Amino acid sequence: MATTTTRPSSSSPGNEGRAGRDRRMGRERPMGGFELWAWLFMRISGLLLLFLALGHLLIMHLLDGGAERIDFGFVATRWESVFWRTWDWLLLMLALVHGVNGLRNITLDYVRRPGMRFGLNMSMYALAFVLMVLGTVVIVTFDPSQWPPVASTS
């Protein structure tokens, strides 16, 4: 069973333990357990999100006329491909989990009362779960044939 341990503090006098550390330095990198995996997830998901989000911005907002071409028909045509549905689902899921993990770190750093920290974290987890389920349902079940035709504005 892996545990999270702290690294030795700097050798400066009076800087023993967490209480004596300079708060501007942030927390140390975890040595094991859940916190290590959460720390690694933030780095890996950040890189994946960078790729997915920049691809999204490039394809949706910069190429072929930009955002003016985006309408229901564009999304319906795009989501006929499993590739684009997977791309958008990954972007949504990674952004949600990455964001919730970041908020969890903020509550660990700044919310001192355990009951308040637990309540905030559980609220974030519940909201993220609901948003993940809703996003997944929309992306998986989207069927443009179930909607009336959209009149062209041009």
- What is the reported pTM? 0.69
Residues 61-116 have pLDDT tens digits of 787 777 777 788 888 888 888 999 999 999 999 999 999 999 998 998 899 999 99
Length of the chain (residues): 154
- The CATH number of the structural domain formed by 30-142 is 1.20.1300.10
CB neighbours (10 Å) of residue 45?
19
Domain locations in the chain? 30-142
Residue-level pLDDT at 27: 63
20 has a pLDDT exceeding 90: no
Q: Write b or e for each residue in 30-40: b if 16 or more Cβ atoms lie within 10 A of its Cβ, otherwise e.
A: beeeebeeebe
Q: How many CA atoms lie within 13 A of 23 on its CB side?
A: 3
* Amino acid (one-letter) located at 73: G
